[in-house]
């Protein structure tokens, strides 16, 4: 059995997230169907495993998944397989690399960190409407950055976790959390951690926006985290503004990231 990592991207607008859902279309479902057609194997053999689950409407500029094949693919055939993937998949899903890796490598559990961007446009720009949130107010980004720094002091993010989720722990190690203006009127919130809870980033952004609009103080933001109560935080920011942009893996296991060749920030 040979394990393969694939690097891919997708526009999440039309999907109920990555993970297979009953009575809803997901990215994973379409990837499984493509695998079955390309390799002519049943789903239980070519089932694809993603680096994580993104929520409904959330995008990924860079995503990693793995699947196993009964036999290794000849290196010269991989380019043709990538062509087949992209011919079968809809235009809002793209696969751009496929690599054999160590059998112990796992797209989800081997990942060392993940990085998200939440994108905001202060102007109404039609071609950004599916990937950027357009608030009806101008946030105070300096205050939101001051509040965002507090995230680095904590590991328990229960206040930003989805209620009744089946996670064993709400601990996450956040190593970066900052807002920056990337072009006039276009801001991104970049947050990096070893793992994220379901809905966590959107809940964090929604609460930070309350700080940015003057509805919550810096001290109150800290109190929200200390409370370990989802009801104390604000509602989640809209899904369309959130994009997964990076996943890091350990070196020396056969996987070489091609992210910088395909992701332009």
Catalytic residues: 55
Q: How far is CA 88 from the centre of its chain?
A: 23
Question: Tokens 């998949």 appear where?
Answer: 89
User: Quick count: other Cβ atoms within 10 Å of Cβ 264?
Assistant: 6
Closest CA to 56 of 234, 199, 231, 206: 199
User: Quick count: other Cβ atoms within 10 Å of Cβ 91?
Assistant: 7
Per DSSP, the three-state class of 171 is strand
Largest CA distance in the chain: 59
Closest CA to 141 of 193, 188, 204, 184: 188
8 Å CB contact between 209 and 135: yes
């Amino acid at each position: 059995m040979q394990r393969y990592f694939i690097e891919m991207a997708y526009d999440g607008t039309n999907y109920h997230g990555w993970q297979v859902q009953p009575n809803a279309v997901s990215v994973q479902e379409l990837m499984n169907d493509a695998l079955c057609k390309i390799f002519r194997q049943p789903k239980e053999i070519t089932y694809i495993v993603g680096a994580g689950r993104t929520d409904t409407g959330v995008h990924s500029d860079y995503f990693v998944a793995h699947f196993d094949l009964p036999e290794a693919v000849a290196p010269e055939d991989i380019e043709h397989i990538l062509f087949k993937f992209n011919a079968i998949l809809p235009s809002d899903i793209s696969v751009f690399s496929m690599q054999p890796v160590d059998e112990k490598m796992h797209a989800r559990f081997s990942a060392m960190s993940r990085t998200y961007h939440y994108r905001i446009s202060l102007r109404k720009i039609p071609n950004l409407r599916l990937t950027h949130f357009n608030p009806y107010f101008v946030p105070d980004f300096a205050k939101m950055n001051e509040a965002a720094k507090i995230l680095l002091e904590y590991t328990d993010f229960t206040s930003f976790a989805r209620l009744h989720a089946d996670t064993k722990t709400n601990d996450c190690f956040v190593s970066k959390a900052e807002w920056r203006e990337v072009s006039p009127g276009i801001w991104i919130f970049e947050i990096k951690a070893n793992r994220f809870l379901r809905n966590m980033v959107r809940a964090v952004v929604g609460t930070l926006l309350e700080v940015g609009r003057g509805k919550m103080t810096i001290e109150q933001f800290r109190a929200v985290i200390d409370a370990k109560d989802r009801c104390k935080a604000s509602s989640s920011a809209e899904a369309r503004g959130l994009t997964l942009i990076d996943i890091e893996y350990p070196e020396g296991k056969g996987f070489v990231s091609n992210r910088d060749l395909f992701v332009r920030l």
